[in-house]
Amino acid sequence: MRIRIPMFAAAAVFLAIGASGCGGDDEGLSAESAAAVEQFDEACDAWRSKLEALGRVPVKDFDPENPEPAELRTVGNHFVSGHPINEAAIAELKNLAVPTELKADVDALIAALNREFEWQKVQAKAAQDGDIAAFKATLDDAASTNDAVTAAAEDLGAEECAF
């Protein structure tokens, strides 16, 4: 399983410690739509930068498959510190103006981001509680919500939003 730091500071760890994006393919889009996709990429890039400013997981060699309770609490607290950043970023994305031709893809991305963030909150709570069984039970669903965000970001052409 691929683990990475959630797009949302709190969730990402539980998902992995990596982020990538390369920008969307604007071919076939109107100039207005291409500009909107670029705005999404810029907003997501800024979001990622803010999360990265929080620093890496404060537990060396953290193993989400075999965490220690004290380490898990530390990791949970670290990612919860990113919740306000995540909330603000999602709100910003929701408020971006989008042309009609992108509305369905934007709505799908926002919905996927919201689902991922809600699941990340569940995961972070289990981590903060030091509940190893509950935390480990979140790993597969956390990965699948992240995959849904990646797919929605790719459909929109805003790959910077898939981290």
CB atoms inside a 10 Å sphere around CB 133: 7
Q: Which of 21, 26, 24 is nearest to 46 (CA)?
A: 21
Cβ(23)–Cβ(159) below 8 Å: yes
List the single range of 2-16, 47-61, 142-156 with lowest mean pLDDT. 2-16
Q: pLDDT tens digit string along 122-151?
A: 999 999 999 999 999 999 888 899 999 999
Cβ(33)–Cβ(99) below 8 Å: yes
Cα radius of gyration (the chain): 16
User: Where do the domains of the chain lie?
Assistant: 9-161
**Residues shown for the chain:** 163
Token pair of 6 as six digits: 């959630």
The yes/no answer on whether domain 9-161 falls in CATH 3.30.420 is no
d(CA 37, CA 32): 9
Q: pLDDT tens digit string along 15-45?
A: 333 333 333 445 688 999 999 999 999 999 9
pTM of the model: 0.81
Residue 64 has pLDDT above 60, yes or no: yes
